[in-house]
Amino acid sequence: MKAAFAYLVVGFSLLAPVAALAHHSFAAEYDIKKPVTLKGKVTKVEWTNPHARFYVDVKDDSGSVTNWNLELASPNVLIRQGWTRHSLNVGDEVTVVGSQAKDGSNMANARTVTLADGRKVFAFSPTEQPPASSEQPAAK
């Protein structure tokens, strides 16, 4: 019995670093000096920890469509900022301001999301600075 417990403790202690590595800092993945403004249609929403994500089809001037992966704060933080699970829905037209991934991929950390009706919802986490404007998150 003691041996089984010891194996269990060792097993969990080996998994802890993996979980810690799964979460990253903003600076590790995104470049604040690579701002992006994206306009398009939401194609998917993932309301999961540690970060909610949504995907947007963005059409360029030539008509070519690129799907962007946009990271938000955790669902818990978003709820405290006025978001709900239904703040973004597939098919919604949005404008997103954020910072592109350091590797140049079609991935960004969303800072603000402007919904089709003009409401802005903020996506920053508590460890980030809030937007410079005095606007408050939109409640739904």
**Domains (range + CATH), the chain:** 25-122 (2.40.50.140)
pTM confidence score: 0.71
pLDDT higher than threshold 80 for residue 124? no
Whether 37 and 95 have beta carbons less than 8 Å apart is answered as yes
State residue 64 phi and psi, 5-degree precision: -75, 135
The pairing of beta strand 107-115 with beta strand 120-122:
antiparallel
pLDDT digits (tens, 9 = 90+) for 89-112: 999 999 999 999 999 999 999 999
- Give the pLDDT band of residue 27 (cuts 50, 70, 90): low
The arithmetic mean of pLDDT across residues 21-33, rounded, is: 68
pLDDT, greater one: 67 or 3: 67
Distance (Å, whole) CA 17 – CA 4: 21
> Residue 136's pLDDT is what?
43
Quickly tell me which residue has 């909610």 as its tokens.
52
Write out the two tokens for 116.
């089709």
